[in-house]
Amino acid sequence: MEAAGDALTGFGEVLTAASGAELGELLAVADRLAALASAARVALAVEATRRGEVAGSEVQAWLRQHAPSLRQGGAASVARIAVDVSACGSALTGGGAVPDEDSPLGIVWDAVREGALEAGTGCTVLREVTRLTPLLQDQALPTVATGLVELAAEHGTSTMRRLRPRLLADFGHHGALDDLQARLESSARLSMPHVESGDLTEYQLWMTPEQAATLEAAIGPLSAPRPNEETGEKDLRPAGQRRVEALTEVCSTASGVAAGTKAGSPATLHLTMTLTDLQPTTGAGQVLASTAGGTLLAPETVRRLACDATLVPHLLDLTGAPLALGAAVRRFTTPQRHHLWLRDRRCTYPGCTAPAAWTRAHHVQHWADGGPTDVTNGALLCQRHHTTVHRRRLWAEVRNQPDERGRHVIWDLTHGSYDRALAALPPPRPNTHPPSPDTEHDDDLDQWWDELPFDHDWWGTPAA
């Protein structure tokens, strides 16, 4: 063993003499030597424990003393193997009993001492087998243990853990898999929101296999990359962003009325704003009456949500005192949504094929800028392109008659086209907004505006 160590001393200094092909061959030899050395280290620990040179909790300290490299990690795994195997005797000297070769410990020990498995991986296999043993048929234990050893040696322990349901399905007692997944239900949970740095909100989610399968079935198709063949735009969103946007889309759809029955509002948004915050693209809205209470929403986010949510404004004076509670106003009515579904059929953004049921009704001229809640000012947009339109501030021409491609909504995709179009329009008047016939208290809406104790002209000048 010392000669082998001496032969490797200074090995790195002569590697320049090796050809490219020889480097791979040398690495394979070095890996085999490392595996054998690791196996020899475990065998020495087993022998020392069997002889009584060291015992119990002292084994790990003994390993750290005589094997300095284990101070970086791994001593606990070697000690665990040594203690368990030494309790059955040692196959090195032939003395005492040895682990039953068909037992999980015997199967793992054979793989470790032959250098096929690291001690840490062997301990992981043993833990997995111990967890599965009460659920498996007795005669299946050797087959399962052997399969796990081979799988862990080839692919690592993470793949081995993912095999658990299949092992229970093939080798478990009757109903074992059902019982396991039933017990998982009490452990499945969704944490309360935790605001991280940058105002990102963190959730932790644990799901049963059934719940995870349902979630993936819902968001899987929506989270695939969607390059736009018509405009040539690539979908540069990271996978994580695509998935969270798909989940948001599913939740938005679920929070409204089911598609195909009644076109409902996807959300009821309670916001507090000062009068100055109501100016376009200034200030922020603060969410009320939910677990997200206190969250600040950027102006453009509020404007985008205001396109197709039931908005209840809580108006504050300049000192922050409440002035009045607004009625739920300005959302597209059910007949209007049905009209847009029939007219647009899908998301109106060029190249997008998202069906109407996945879309929201967007105010081409934003409601906050005096745009009427009317089908002549409406366009269907999926969540992704609704965000794009607001972020890039895009304008569209809504035509009574379709163009040669059957489009009623023609988008100007140049950045800032919305601001240029808005500058050419006359200043808006808030009282020109018609009440929504499917909203409570709409009959008193005009009177409510007239009785507000401040100047009605609080919409401000549109952004240049």
Same domain, 442 and 323: yes
End position of a domain, from candidates 183, 210, 235: 183
pLDDT at residue 277 above 60? no
Q: What percent of the chain has pLDDT over 70?
A: 72
Q: What dihedral angle (degrees, nearest 10) is formed by the CA atoms of 157, 159, 164, 165? A: 170
- pLDDT, tens only, 112-148: 988 999 999 999 999 999 988 888 888 989 999 999 9
pLDDT at residue 414 above 90? yes
395 band by pLDDT with thresholds 50, 70 and 90: very high
Q: How many residues does the chain have?
A: 464
Question: Where is pLDDT greater, at 270 or 279?
Answer: 270
Asked if the structure places residue 260 within a domain, the reply is: no
End position of a domain, from candidates 124, 152, 183: 183
Same domain, 26 and 166: yes
pLDDT of residue 316: 54
| Diameter over CA atoms, the chain | 100
Q: What dihedral angle (degrees, nearest 10) is formed by the CA atoms of 290, 294, 297, 303? A: 50
- pLDDT, tens only, 61-107: 999 999 999 999 889 999 999 898 888 754 444 455 567 778 899 99
Same domain, 93 and 73: yes
176 band by pLDDT with thresholds 50, 70 and 90: confident
Asked if the structure places residue 418 within a domain, the reply is: yes
Same domain, 318 and 395: yes
Same domain, 382 and 274: yes
| Cross-strand partners of 422 | none
Same domain, 179 and 198: no
Q: Rg of the chain's alpha carbons, rounded to an integer?
A: 34
Q: Nearest-CA neighbor of 347 among 409, 265, 258?
A: 409
Asked if the structure places residue 14 within a domain, the reply is: no
User: Residue 154: which residues within 8 A CB-CB, separation 6 or more?
Assistant: none
Containing structural domain, residue 313: 268-451
Same domain, 169 and 216: no
Same domain, 226 and 83: no
Asked if the structure places residue 283 within a domain, the reply is: yes
Q: Which residue has the tokens 């404007």?
A: 303
Asked if the structure places residue 108 within a domain, the reply is: yes
Strands (E), 68-202: 189-190, 194-195, 201-202
**In angstroms, rounded to a whole number, what is the distance separating the alpha carbons of residues 445 and 304?**
23
Average pLDDT score, the chain: 76
Mean pLDDT within 162-188:
78
Asked if the structure places residue 462 within a domain, the reply is: no
Same domain, 171 and 208: no
Asked if the structure places residue 11 within a domain, the reply is: no
pLDDT at residue 397 above 70? yes
Residue 367 phi/psi, 5-degree rounding, is -55, -40
pLDDT of residue 367: 79
Same domain, 281 and 379: yes
pLDDT of residue 160: 77
End position of a domain, from candidates 208, 232, 255: 255
Same domain, 405 and 272: yes
Same domain, 245 and 322: no
**In angstroms, rounded to a whole number, what is the distance separating the alpha carbons of residues 419 and 430?**
19
Number of domains in the chain: 3
Q: Three-state SS across 249-285?
A: HHHHHHHCCCCCCCCCCCCEEEEEEECHHHCCCCCCE
